[in-house]
Amino acid sequence: MPDIGSDAPDFTLPDNKREAVTLSEQRGKNVVLAFFPAAFTGVCEKELCTFRDSLAQFNELDAAVYGVCVDAPFANAAFAERNKLNFPILSDYARKAVQAYGVAHDDFAGLAGYTAAKRSVFVVDKEGKLRFAWVADNPGQEPDYDAVQAAVRALG
């Protein structure tokens, strides 16, 4: 996992509309990256819906929120539509971002050779520096949403 204060690993991933999103092009605003293991699973739905319901507060803090999942853009689009998500879900189908952020969950759910994302949240500041990182001990654990907002609020 990259160190707090270091440059956040850059990536370009397709969103749920299959449009490319490049992290470094988000400079000038704070970014919350919410990595999650799989669309259409209970804890993931709860987590992403919690971010959905607090998006206005993140917007007030000049922060963009992105979900990141290894599922295909098509599955992510259906997941976003079903849950009325109001922020993009990025598809890390090649697993480059999960590797760069050190959150690859190999052999996920006992499936040999299948790599998902560990549930994790990263906050990147306006200059592209990593300012907050949280990685779940197990996929059923949700982030401390207040801590994520506090990390963004501390960026000013």
Please provide the DSSP assignment of the chain as one string: -PPTTSBPPP-EEE-TTS-EEEGGGGTTSEEEEEE-S-TT-HHHHHHHHHHHHTHHHHHHTTEEEEEEESS-HHHHHHHHHHTT-SS-EEE-TT-HHHHHTT-EETTGGG-TT--EEPSEEEEE-TTSBEEEEEE-SSTTPPP-HHHHHHHHHTT-
Q: Does 44 participate in catalysis according to the annotation?
A: yes
Half-sphere exposure of 5 (CA within 13 A, CB side): 0
Residues with Cβ within 8 Å of residue 138, at least 6 apart in sequence: none
| Catalytic option among 31, 39, 44, 117 | 44
**Residues with a known catalytic role:** 44
